[in-house]
Amino acid sequence: MQVSENKVVSIHYTLKNDAGEIIDSSTGRDPLTYLHGAGNIIPGLEKALAGKDSGEHVDVSVAPEEAYGSRNESLIQAVPKEAFEGVDKIEPGMQFQAQTPSGMQVLTVVEVKDDEVVVDGNHPLAGQTLHFSVDIAEVREATEEELSHGHAH
């Protein structure tokens, strides 16, 4: 069956960055299952999979505009250290979730100063070209319930 709107698609994938490092992979896990055409996965990957068949292998590089967007330097901010009360040791690279007006946001610690912590609110993959290697494991019709929920079950 072909990948198209309103199909539930299961894929195994490996995701690499420009340096060829593996960022994420479904190897050893259940495949990623999503509802095609519902914006469940990044637009560039969804486009690349459209029209492909179960059993097919797809290699695709997705530019930031069709992945997690470009980096926005204004999302790098210094916050008072008191905001991290209860955290034993704050170190660069640590990630925290923060509730913001636009939903949950992941903040990555960039630098720890005497009384301030510099955090980056960009998605960790913002500004990156993503290289996917995908095997389409299964394509099936979505159920009425899945269509009404907008995701695969």
Interface residues with Zn ion (CB under 5 A)? 149
Q: Shortest Cβ distance from residue 152 to Zn ion (Å)?
A: 8
Q: Closest CB to Zn ion belongs to which residue?
A: 149
CB of 151 to Zn ion, least distance (A): 6
Measured from the CB atom, is 47 or 149 closer to Zn ion?
Answer: 149
Q: Give exposure, 45-54, as e/b (b: 16+ Cβ within 10 Å).
A: bbebbeebeb
Query: How many whole angstroms separate alpha carbon 18 and alpha carbon 59?
Result: 14
- Which residues, listed in sequence order, are joined to residue 80 by a DSSP beta bridge? 116
- Indicate the residue among 47 and 153 with the shorter CB distance to Zn ion: 153
Closest distance between Zn ion and the C-beta of residue 131, in Å? Answer: 31
**Residue 27 class from Cβ within 10 Å (0-12 exposed, 13-18 middle, 19+ buried)?**
exposed
Smallest gap from Cβ 140 to Zn ion, in A, equals: 16
With respect to Zn ion, which residue has the nearer C-beta, 91 or 145? 145
Q: What share of the chain is helix, strand, coil (3-state, %, to 5)?
A: 15, 40, 45
In the bound state with Zn ion, the residue whose beta carbon lies nearer, of 57 and 149, is: 149
